Structure 1
Amino acid sequence: MRFLKFFLWSCVAVFCGLLLSLSGAFLYLSPNLPSVDSLRSIQLQIPLRVYSSDDKLIAEYGEMRRSPIAFDEIPKDFIAALLAAEDDNFANHYGVEVSSLMRAATQLLKTGQIQTGGSTITMQVAKNYFLTSERSFSRKINEILLALQIERELSKNEILELYVNKIYLGNRAYGIEAAAQVYYGKPIGELTLAQMAMIAGLPKAPSAFNPLANPARSKERRDWILGRMHRLGSIDQPRYEQALAEPVDATYHGASPELDAPYIAEMARAEMVGRYGSAAYTDGFRVYTTASSTRQVAANEALAAGLVEYDRRHGYRGPEAHLKDQDTWREELDKFRNQSGLLPAVVTQTGAEQITVMLRDGAEWPVSWDSMKWARAHLGTNSLGPVPRRPDDVVKVGDVVRVRIEGDTASFSQIPLAQAALVSLDPLDGSIEALTGGFSFAQSNYNRAIQAKRQPGSSFKPFIYAAALDAGYTPATLVNDSPIVFEDSLDRVWRPKNDNNTFLGPIRLREALYKSRNLVSIRLLQTLGIPYTIDYIERFGFRPEDLPPNLSLALGTATLTPMEIATGWTAFANGGYKIEPYLIERIDDRNGETIYRANPARVPAPDDADQGPTEAEVSTFAQQDAPLETSGVPEEAPRYAEQIIDERTAYIMTSMLQDVIKRGTGRRALEMGRADIAGKTGTTNESKDSWFSGYNADVVTTVWAGFDQPQSLGRHEYGGTVALPIWMHYMSDVLEGTPEHAPPEPSGILTLRIDPESGRAAPPGTPNAYFEVFRTEDTPPAMGELEPGTTAPGSPLPQSESAPMDLF
């Protein structure tokens, strides 16, 4: 009896001791426990996603790939698989499973090491949301206490929803929806029973049971879970056997963009980081850009095709590498990245009419000799080797080359050294409809469309001509295209010349523009005055520090980006209004609520033209670049763009630039068969930069092409041979099937018959007379109306051509 009493009292003492210890631990730890209420408003890390205007995914940024789903969206089969794998008594316990904890304690006592934690799903929620992965008794006690609190305050469904959205499942996938996309490329609701069981087996050890890294072990885990589901009655025998027979078919599905627009994505990412800092990567923002997927695809294809076409004209520079050991060919090919559809391949065989190449996946493709005939050896920018006669003259076995796969055909190619950029804007509001900053983002993430400052050459001349028109010149004004020599105070001499070193004498302004006569542009700038002209050109959005304050400005020696040129050109297309380019149309938060919607200054519609912007609106334009950023606020009133040049000047400039297409340096664009397009080529000294800017009333597009480190594109390469074909390719795709739409004729325009020799109104019977457009106040006099010694309105004032000037 004494022993029995001693034993009973000992048990009571131990029980009381444990009770006191647990109570003390609870009292000590509970004040430091976080509030379970915070789980209801927890903000899971969700990556930043960038979309096109038509909802095509462009890019995803963020370390954690996650797509939270509600409990109602979780398939019942997956819940059954998860509970079978992790916590089959989940529906009955109160957050803690005593038997599981005792089993874990027994294993610890037997082995001296922690084998399992004995955690329920509720305890894992507590750990994942509030605690660390540290293995310690204090953390486990905290985990138990939190689990008990969670069970008291949340429903089982809420706990499961928190769990499936938080758990890490390997390969940057957090949550079951992201895992389904990563491993199977489908939503969780579209997976088979076997696939769901595979994902349900990942929480225990995402690396050990990963179906990509260890298919055999992951299948064992999957089959074990299916067996438990069968024993627990979750699935019947036929479904169990069918799921067991299903092979492991998981493959990696990265965050594959639906639209290839990496330069646009990077611009959107940078703007989001500027707005929200590091939270941009974790707060689940969905950014919708103004870029159209169809126009972006057209831009990508046009730029790549144009650069490849130019590159082929200058010959084949040889293989990128030569591989000797056939056993390592595929491994070595992994070092070469795909670039704009050009795939790395190794030559495995050469023949009389074709070669055979092997891609990185081991597939072999025949490449026809017809696709290789262009590959004369590149000897220099202006020289090529002999014409090859057979494939052996171009490549040999082991050469690493580039091929383009189109359908079931592989063609021979190489990565161009030259670069290009394309910017396409809506002239009515400045939205960026397509943009590409180089041949391949994988090759270089340098965005030439917004970062490369280059000389625009003659594509800048329209701004000089617009200044002249607003100063009273007309398209019929005669300006002398003759030699001119300037000498400055340091006895430096400048003898500017035209591209072909010829001179046409007195020439009408319209003809001078479409023939791109340099000396006419210089004389215009000289007569207008450099200060006036720079002040005028600044209206188009150019910064004064980028505009050289000397006569070379007339030849396009300013340093400007393609985006700046395209923005300036929109004023010709929209009737003389200044717009600001913008990329982000709207931003949605993680809940799909719009928290930002762009409200750019727009060109007034015809029925708004009588209103226009008030002085107060114009003065506040610069302050309104950050539109509404609060959810649920009604649409803002439209903002009107500032008119910077006379709408009649813009109309006349369009007429003159249409002649560049019809009879000038842009004649190649006549192949498009459209009468509504206007544009201008640009080529700098030694053909280091080639440009083409053009438009109709719906879209303005600028293309630049050249080398990153300025060097000549070639002796016979100009804006019309390099940049213009890219522009044509893009604009043909964009305008296909659309009616012609030129800017409308404004009021205050008069059309007169003009004598081409004098630029004056032509009397009946004048030979070769033509119709010209004028502003009503600038119409020229008729023949014989001027007295000797006077000049027609807008004609340049007489100046000494040898007067010293500060030119350089």
Structure 2
Amino acid sequence: MTRLINRFLHTLDKGLTLANPLVAGAWWHVRHPTRRGVARACAALPVLLLLYVLILIPFTPGIGDIRKAKSEQPAQILSADGKLLAEFKPSNREWVKLKDISPNVVNALIATEDHRFYQHFGLDWRRTASAALHTFSGDRQGGSTITQQLARNLYPDEIGRAPTLTRKLKEAITAFKIEALYTKDEILETYLNTVPFLYNAYGIEMAARTYFDKSASELNVLESATLAGMLKGNSYYNPVLNPERALQRRNTVLAQMVKYGKLTPAAYETLKRRALRIDFERQTEPPGPAPHFAQQLRKWLAAWADRNDYNIYSDGLVVRTTIDSRLQTMATQAVILQGNQLQGIANSAWGTRAGCANGRDLLPTFLRETPEYRAAKDAGMTDEDALKRLSSDHHLVQALCESKTRVQADFLAMDPRNGQIKAWVGSRDFSQDPFDHVQQARRQPGSTFKPFVYAAAFESGAKPTDTLPDKPVEIALAGGEIWRPSDEDEPSERAISLRDGLAFSRNRITAQLMETVGPTKVARLARAMGVRDSTLDPVPSLALGTSPVTLKEMVSAYGTIANLGGYVEPVMVTRIEDRNGEVLAEFAPAAPRQELSADAARTLVDVMRDVVSRGTGSSIRSRFGVRGDVAGKTGTTQGNADGWFILIHPQLVAGAWVGFNDSRVTLRSDYWGQGAHSALPIVGDFFQRAQRSKLVDTRVKFETEQEPGWFAERTDRLRAWFEHLFAASPGQSEAPVVRREPARRVPGGAAASAALGVSGASAASGASGASGASGTLAEPREVPQPPLLSAPASAPRPASGAVDGEVRGGGEPALAPTPTPDDVTPPDAGSAANALQAAPASAGGAP
């Protein structure tokens, strides 16, 4: 080996001599050093090291950065009325002053980590040299002072953590800067408030709460020594997972305190025999009054801050939002109250306390979807053996059952005039259900989608008094399938007005209207009005809400209705300020964009008033006493999987959804599963509280009334004369689509001249010649009404099932002895697979 090395060096000497004589001469001196050469080299090393240090200084954190690190402030999120909603902290930390930290902590820390802390200026040369000697001898030791550790913790990216000379030099330079800028007490305070302690606990205060359920000021010697001992290796000396190691390390810290005079030997002998006595509890940040809203706002604000060169965790931004803390509290209380009541119903329906005793049909399906089942199958077990094994695990079955049958609910309220979101509740309990159902969950909206069908019809010239026959409906779909929507009662063959069709949520009437208007137009209009993120499948069954959407989209679209056709994008923030109150950005409401004609919107609002005055949502007045000019719509999907209700007022639109995360799970009740009994009480409770608190003005009304002009009056007379003159003969076949009746004036706008002669064949073809036909509304005259719309209050319930919530006589909803299902939506009835087997949609009068 030596011969090979000598041969290599000889060859290198020759090569360098031929290439460059000067280099060859220098290489010869390296190979044959003299005493003078060695002395010169030793003298040059410190100079070179100093030069390298000077080069590194610009690449270490500056003094301004250090000052900013100490004074960093998280963004504060405030409500419109000035209440704190949230703080965006990078970690779970609460800063405490050094005087509020137990002296035992400081003594344990200095004795263990840096006993000459008060003597050095950031770098302990003696300890550094000792650590270097031990490392060279194979016993690696750390020599960092508390100040060096602070520099490393504050600036991990700039300094790094690689065991290199460059990293140690950067660390030392930064430590010198910190020592020059801060006092020893400030350094200790900063260190103790930034050091990590596992379980998302940063700083001594959170560590004290996490491991001992007390404040940092209350820590005794043993507890202080335990936490100080963790600093050598959080995971290795974790007192929760590795109590024996943590105990040994704690006693080492106590011995160090004795060594440096912070503890007497007698006290040490007594204390070292005691147990750890951990009182562990993970610390979580308080969710705040609007946690789901804050969660969505954090994403938006982070993007804004990146574009404008701000840090949401340290720059002290103050974000003023649109949330009203009073309305937010009311919404949260309403969701919790109704959610808890429905949970009791779900527990009884499923036998939750007995491990889904009443849901044995679905339990095997749920078990097959668990990781435990997949593990059993991977181990070679058969399906039967795997299910038998899992079913015998009572804890697993109970946990699975409780998870699947947990009732979910969400709520959103916004001001339709400017799009400002006033209340946002994404689930019943953020700590248990952090998933945001308002913006993230897409569910079938059921009959709450029907207003878009009627809006498209009114915009095309239809009138609330136009009628359609209550007859069986068969609509051909692509591929030859037939869609047959139905209601709870059998077809009566009687004419039903569009007003009653929406008020009592008649599926057959809505399906015929959809066939007249066209799914493409309805989908396009719904998107324009606010359903802009979800995909709407333009198929006939869309009329009954088969395309999944979010509550935020639906409330936004209903806001367009309340704003008389003007769409305003929902907004969360009004202004952003810096820590000194200087305005950095303001966000004025966008101007409304007219997506639905004003006349059609006025007509739709007037028709939707009937939903809450005498239709499927009438309990909003009779039960909750909501006053003023309001309108709305209920909705329930197939099998009562989803319950919806949205209420509109000129100042506020509020909507709620109730269901389960797994749509296969329902309340198993045709009564409680309806939107009128599951979701409506949330909105009713909220609106009742808001009106009583004067946060919603009951005197404000929709601007739907317009005085008819001279032309409108004469057009109505001429239209009535033409219809009388050319009335169809008794033997003439009835038009299959729309039949219009002579009109009288009600709120809605100017009359439309194109209403002339719309009957028979022209009605069947759509009679699209109207111009603003929604302006003249007509009540049916001498048109026989279906029994369900005219039965007296004392009449018994029809055998076919009357509509729940319908008004009988005096305007109060009749109490049904046998509750009936809501208007339901076949799951994806527009698809070929489901079109033939779509279950009948229940009573059009149900919520």
Task: Please confirm whether the aligned pair reaches a TM-score higher than 0.5, indicating the same fold.
Answer: yes
Question: Offset of 1:690 from its aligned partner?
Answer: 4.5
Structure richer in strand, relative to its length: 1
CA deviation string 1:70-105 (max 9, x = no partner): 778777775455334433433332333344345546
Judge conservation of contact 1:131–1:139 (CA < 8 Å) in 2.
yes
Per the alignment, residue 26 of structure 1 pairs with 50
Per the alignment, residue 122 of structure 2 pairs with 95
d(CA) in 2 for partners of 1:17 and 1:487?
A: 95
Per the alignment, residue 234 of structure 2 pairs with 206
Which of the residues 719, 731, 735 maps onto 2:683?
A: 731
Per the alignment, residue 424 of structure 1 pairs with 412
d(CA) in 2 for partners of 1:161 and 1:715?
A: 58
Structure richer in helix, relative to its length: 2
Question: Offset of 1:565 from its aligned partner?
Answer: 1.8
State the one-letter code of the partner of 2:345.
E
Question: Offset of 1:699 from its aligned partner?
Answer: 4.2
Question: Offset of 1:431 from its aligned partner?
Answer: 1.2
d(CA) in 1 for partners of 2:211 and 2:240?
A: 8
Closer, same or farther in 2 for the Cα pair 1:306/1:277, shift >3 Å? farther
Name the stretch that deviates more: 686-695 or 240-249.
Answer: 240-249
d(CA) in 2 for partners of 1:218 and 1:489?
A: 70
Per the alignment, residue 281 of structure 2 pairs with 252
Question: Offset of 1:472 from its aligned partner?
Answer: 6.0
Which of the residues 659, 679, 683 maps onto 2:632?
A: 679
d(CA) in 1 for partners of 2:119 and 2:478?
A: 97
CA deviation string 1:630-653 (max 9, x = no partner): x63375655443455567765664
Judge conservation of contact 1:318–1:377 (CA < 8 Å) in 2.
no
- How high is the TM-score relative to the length of structure 2? 0.60
Which of the residues 176, 179, 183 maps onto 2:211?
A: 183
CA deviation string 1:244-271 (max 9, x = no partner): 9997455233324435977656544554
Closer, same or farther in 2 for the Cα pair 1:559/1:437, shift >3 Å? same
CA deviation string 1:439-482 (max 9, x = no partner): 9997895x654455554332222233344555665545555445
Q: Secondary structure at the match of 1:700?
A: strand
Question: Offset of 1:564 from its aligned partner?
Answer: 1.9
Closer, same or farther in 2 for the Cα pair 1:176/1:259, shift >3 Å? same
Which of the residues 755, 758, 767 maps onto 1:797?
A: 758
Segments of 5+ residues of structure 1 without an aligned counterpart are 1-11, 321-374, 382-395, 405-411, 595-630, 752-773
Which of the residues 415, 426, 448 maps onto 1:459?
A: 448
Which of the residues 601, 605, 610 maps onto 1:659?
A: 610
Q: Secondary structure at the match of 1:459?
A: helix
d(CA) in 2 for partners of 1:519 and 1:143?
A: 76
1:562 and 2:513 are equivalent in the alignment: no
Judge conservation of contact 1:480–1:506 (CA < 8 Å) in 2.
yes
Judge conservation of contact 2:656–2:683 (CA < 8 Å) in 1.
no
Judge conservation of contact 2:355–2:401 (CA < 8 Å) in 1.
no
State the one-letter code of the partner of 1:703.
W
Q: Secondary structure at the match of 1:659?
A: helix
Closer, same or farther in 2 for the Cα pair 1:654/1:255, shift >3 Å? same
Segments of 5+ residues of structure 2 without an aligned counterpart are 1-35, 364-390, 727-741, 744-750, 768-828, 831-847
d(CA) in 2 for partners of 1:545 and 1:145?
A: 55
Closer, same or farther in 2 for the Cα pair 1:495/1:728, shift >3 Å? closer
Question: Offset of 1:749 from its aligned partner?
Answer: 1.9
1:540 and 2:529 are equivalent in the alignment: yes
State the one-letter code of the partner of 1:698.
L
Question: Offset of 1:556 from its aligned partner?
Answer: 3.8
1:436 and 2:411 are equivalent in the alignment: no
Judge conservation of contact 2:487–2:506 (CA < 8 Å) in 1.
yes
d(CA) in 2 for partners of 1:775 and 1:473?
A: 20
State the one-letter code of the partner of 1:663.
R
Closer, same or farther in 2 for the Cα pair 1:559/1:490, shift >3 Å? same
Alignment root-mean-square deviation, CA: 5.8
State the one-letter code of the partner of 1:299.
V
Q: Secondary structure at the match of 1:92?
A: coil
Judge conservation of contact 1:52–1:58 (CA < 8 Å) in 2.
no
Q: Secondary structure at the match of 1:26?
A: helix
Question: Offset of 1:575 from its aligned partner?
Answer: 4.9
Judge conservation of contact 2:575–2:586 (CA < 8 Å) in 1.
no
d(CA) in 1 for partners of 2:586 and 2:204?
A: 37
State the one-letter code of the partner of 2:207.
A
d(CA) in 1 for partners of 2:243 and 2:534?
A: 62
Q: Which has the larger radius of gyration?
A: 2
What is the 5 A alignment of 1:149-188? 151-152=179-180, 155-156=183-184, 159-160=187-188, 163-184=191-212, 188=216
What is the 5 A alignment of 1:210-249? 210-213=238-241, 248-249=277-278
Per the alignment, residue 776 of structure 2 pairs with none
Per the alignment, residue 500 of structure 2 pairs with 511
Question: Offset of 1:567 from its aligned partner?
Answer: 1.6
- How high is the TM-score relative to the length of structure 1? 0.63
Question: Offset of 1:701 from its aligned partner?
Answer: 0.7
Per the alignment, residue 734 of structure 2 pairs with none
| Number of residue equivalences | 656
d(CA) in 2 for partners of 1:437 and 1:492?
A: 39
CA deviation string 1:764-789 (max 9, x = no partner): xxxxxxxxxx9999789699964414
Judge conservation of contact 1:705–1:722 (CA < 8 Å) in 2.
no
What is the 5 A alignment of 1:591-610? none
Closer, same or farther in 2 for the Cα pair 1:707/1:778, shift >3 Å? farther
Judge conservation of contact 2:287–2:430 (CA < 8 Å) in 1.
no
State the one-letter code of the partner of 2:759.
P
CA deviation string 1:220-277 (max 9, x = no partner): 7667767877997889999999999997455233324435977656544554565568
Q: Secondary structure at the match of 2:120?
A: coil
Question: Offset of 1:516 from its aligned partner?
Answer: 1.8
d(CA) in 2 for partners of 1:486 and 1:135?
A: 74
Judge conservation of contact 2:108–2:254 (CA < 8 Å) in 1.
yes
Judge conservation of contact 1:58–1:262 (CA < 8 Å) in 2.
no
Question: Offset of 1:215 from its aligned partner?
Answer: 5.3
State the one-letter code of the partner of 1:693.
I
d(CA) in 2 for partners of 1:140 and 1:714?
A: 64
What is the 5 A alignment of 1:519-668? 519-522=508-511, 524-525=513-514, 536-543=525-532, 546-547=535-536, 552-583=541-572, 632-633=583-584, 635=586, 639-642=590-593, 644-645=595-596, 653-654=604-605, 656-667=607-618
d(CA) in 2 for partners of 1:146 and 1:316?
A: 60
Which of the residues 104, 108, 114 maps onto 2:139?
A: 114
Q: Secondary structure at the match of 2:496?
A: strand
Closer, same or farther in 2 for the Cα pair 1:699/1:78, shift >3 Å? farther
CA deviation string 1:278-319 (max 9, x = no partner): 999995588887483553464356446536635643666963
Question: Offset of 1:156 from its aligned partner?
Answer: 3.9
Judge conservation of contact 2:576–2:583 (CA < 8 Å) in 1.
no
Per the alignment, residue 700 of structure 2 pairs with 744
Judge conservation of contact 1:95–1:120 (CA < 8 Å) in 2.
yes
Tell me the percent identity. 25
State the one-letter code of the partner of 1:734.
F
d(CA) in 2 for partners of 1:465 and 1:459?
A: 11
Judge conservation of contact 1:288–1:586 (CA < 8 Å) in 2.
yes
1:124 and 2:153 are equivalent in the alignment: no
Q: Secondary structure at the match of 1:739?
A: helix
d(CA) in 2 for partners of 1:775 and 1:548?
A: 41
Judge conservation of contact 1:58–1:259 (CA < 8 Å) in 2.
no
Per the alignment, residue 597 of structure 1 pairs with none
Closer, same or farther in 2 for the Cα pair 1:133/1:685, shift >3 Å? closer
Which of the residues 377, 385, 400 maps onto 2:395?
A: 400
Per the alignment, residue 654 of structure 2 pairs with 700
Question: Offset of 1:41 from its aligned partner?
Answer: 0.3
